[in-house]
């Protein structure tokens, strides 16, 4: 594992964007696994700048997002599809039909998840997977559980996640209670993994995830077993490491 502590949020974002830009430049037809949340917004901004500067192209890239709320339409302003359109896809030259987000509007959880897992396999598997980190150590929406879930599945969100994400909805009652997410197995099969975390409120979980024991109680800790992981945090998130 490569563990990098950047000076601040902007430096973390630039360093993480460079890893992605480097991967896309050396593998122009790669499969990128993408993430949502507040943390990657800055790095997506850096990638858009690189595209606008003419030094980066996504024209042959395929993307798969980690997760989506169950029950939200792609047009809903808190859906992860909307987030990706707004923060990256509509600003760069990625082909719309090569971008994938689990279908939160599909009520048949088993069908939605199986189709997603199959689409990833048909694309040849994930190349570089970007991850943020939940306060309880979740990656994607893989919450602390008795074991590590293998494939894309439907999860019931924990109170901690619902509370954390309620800041983005009108009221806590509007936060969906379920989501579709890649499994830990899906994520671990990626060739490379890049994790970003920022802010003092992530310091404890960053330390537990990357320097504590590997346990499904802290889903991100499994990344210690991956052969090619880069973790980039800002000083505040890295304060206990």
Our finding on whether 129 is near ligand GLP (CB under 6 A) is no
Short-list 82, 65, 162, CA closest to 116: 65
Our finding on whether 156 is near ligand GLP (CB under 6 A) is no
With H, G, I as helix, E, B as strand and everything else as coil, classify residue 148: coil
By beta-carbon proximity to ligand GLP, the closer residue of 23 and 69 is 69
* 85 phi/psi in degrees, rounded to 5: -60, -45
Our finding on whether 36 is near ligand GLP (CB under 6 A) is yes
Contact region for ligand GLP (CB under 6 A) — 37-45, 147-155, 185-193, 231-239? 37-45
Cβ at position 29, least distance to ligand GLP in Å: 25
Residue pair 105/72 in contact (Cβ under 8 Å)? The answer is yes
What would the two tokens of residue 155 be? 């999860």
Q: What burial letters (b/e) apply to 134-150, b meaning 16+ CB within 10 Å?
A: bebbbbbbbbeeeebbe
Our finding on whether 142 is near ligand GLP (CB under 6 A) is no
Q: Is 143 a catalytic residue?
A: yes
By beta-carbon proximity to ligand GLP, the closer residue of 21 and 196 is 196
Contact region for ligand GLP (CB under 6 A) — 132-140, 147-155, 182-190, 214-222? 132-140
Beta bridge partners of 5: 233
What would the two tokens of residue 150 be? 């293998």
Q: Which of 50, 87, 138, 234 is catalytic?
A: 138
Our finding on whether 13 is near ligand GLP (CB under 6 A) is no
Contacts of 98 (CB under 8 A, 6+ apart): 61, 62, 63
Cβ at position 55, least distance to ligand GLP in Å: 26
Short-list 196, 138, 192, 182, CA closest to 17: 196
Our finding on whether 67 is near ligand GLP (CB under 6 A) is yes
Our finding on whether 132 is near ligand GLP (CB under 6 A) is yes
> Considering all CA atoms of the chain, what is the largest pairwise distance in Å, rounded to the nearest integer?
47
Q: Is 91 a catalytic residue?
A: no
Our finding on whether 33 is near ligand GLP (CB under 6 A) is no
What would the two tokens of residue 127 be? 């190349």
Site residues (vs ligand GLP, CB under 6 A): 35-39, 66-67, 132-134, 140-141, 161, 165
The residues carrying an active-site annotation are 67, 136, 138, 143
């Amino acid at each position: 594992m490569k563990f990098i502590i950047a000076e601040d949020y902007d430096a973390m974002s630039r360093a993480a964007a460079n890893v992605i830009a480097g991967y896309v430049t050396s593998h122009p037809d790669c499969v990128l696994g993408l993430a949502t949340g507040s943390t990657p917004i800055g790095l997506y901004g850096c990638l858009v700048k690189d595209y606008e500067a003419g030094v980066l192209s996504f024209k042959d890239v395929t993307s798969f997002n980690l997760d989506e709320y169950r029950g939200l339409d792609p047009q809903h302003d808190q859906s992860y599809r909307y987030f990706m359109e707004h923060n990256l896809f509509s600003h760069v030259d990625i082909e719309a039909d090569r971008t994938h987000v689990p279908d939160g509007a599909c009520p048949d959880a088993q069908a939605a998840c199986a189709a997603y897992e199959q689409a990833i396999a048909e694309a040849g598997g994930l190349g570089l997977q970007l991850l943020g980190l939940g306060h309880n150590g979740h990656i994607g929406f893989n919450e602390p559980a008795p074991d590590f879930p293998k494939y894309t599945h439907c999860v019931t969100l924990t109170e901690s996640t619902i509370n954390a994400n309620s800041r983005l909805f009108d009221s806590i009652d509007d936060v969906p209670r379920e989501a579709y997410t890649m499994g830990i197995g899906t994520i671990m099969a990626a060739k490379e993994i890049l994790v970003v975390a920022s802010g003092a409120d992530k310091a404890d979980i960053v330390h537990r995830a990357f320097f504590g024991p590997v346990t499904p109680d802290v889903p991100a800790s499994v990344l210690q077993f991956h052969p090619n992981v880069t973790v980039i945090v800002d000083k505040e998130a890295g304060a206990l490491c």
